[in-house]
Chain A
């Protein structure tokens, strides 16, 4: 199975900061990657699909990039409501797998 490794596992940031989370795949997954946000006690929410496409309704401060094995989720200016855990997921081959998550804290 393809392994996804996110870094860092957690980070501390302030409102207004630019935040970057990386996701590295154990093999080439082309652009078959999605990013999700999960707030405590809430359902995950799709942010980015196909590595760089913004899901409808998601603020434009979120962006995704990368292809192959290295991917990035960027939050251009962190807002109070962005403090959450972020997960990447690959859809290139079964079994579809998630990264271990990155917790963004104040």
Chain B
């Protein structure tokens, strides 16, 4: 069974750093893209970025470029999203997502983690 299991909720102060995780299981971790989606309170979905664990090819949305870092540890099938200096506006649920690699039909995000609530407040 494919699962993406994310780390637990975090409460941080502005200016603090944070690294949240997403562990994949039940599939070949290096064969699928894994990414992150933000959902601010009461708002829609925003794509943050994505990484291909096989070669660490990483893409970011311009809205998040320079604000977050996406990384992966293949040895433990885990992806990370990190901030060096959080802002109150980073308060949101962050979902990790999986996307198949395909030369044919264009796939979507077929599996989602349960979400990690990040609250940034002084």
Binding site for B on A (CB under 8 A): 1, 30-36, 38, 43-46, 48-51, 53, 55, 87, 89, 91-92, 94-101
Contacts and interface: CB of A to CB of B under 8 A. Distances in A.
B44 interface: yes
Q: Which 9 A-B pairs have the closest CB atoms?
A: A34-B108, A50-B105, A95-B61, A49-B108, A32-B106, A98-B45, A43-B112, A96-B47, A101-B44
A11 to B, nearest CB: 16
11 contacts: A1-B62, A34-B106, A35-B108, A46-B108, A49-B108, A49-B110, A50-B105, A55-B110, A95-B59, A95-B61, A96-B50
A98 B63 CA distance: 13
Contacts of A89: 45, 47, 108-109
B40 to A, nearest CB: 12
Interface residues of B, number: 22
Given A98-B46, A98-B47, A49 B62 contact: no
Contacts of B29: none
A43 B44 contact: no
Contact of A43 (B61, B62, B108, B114): B114
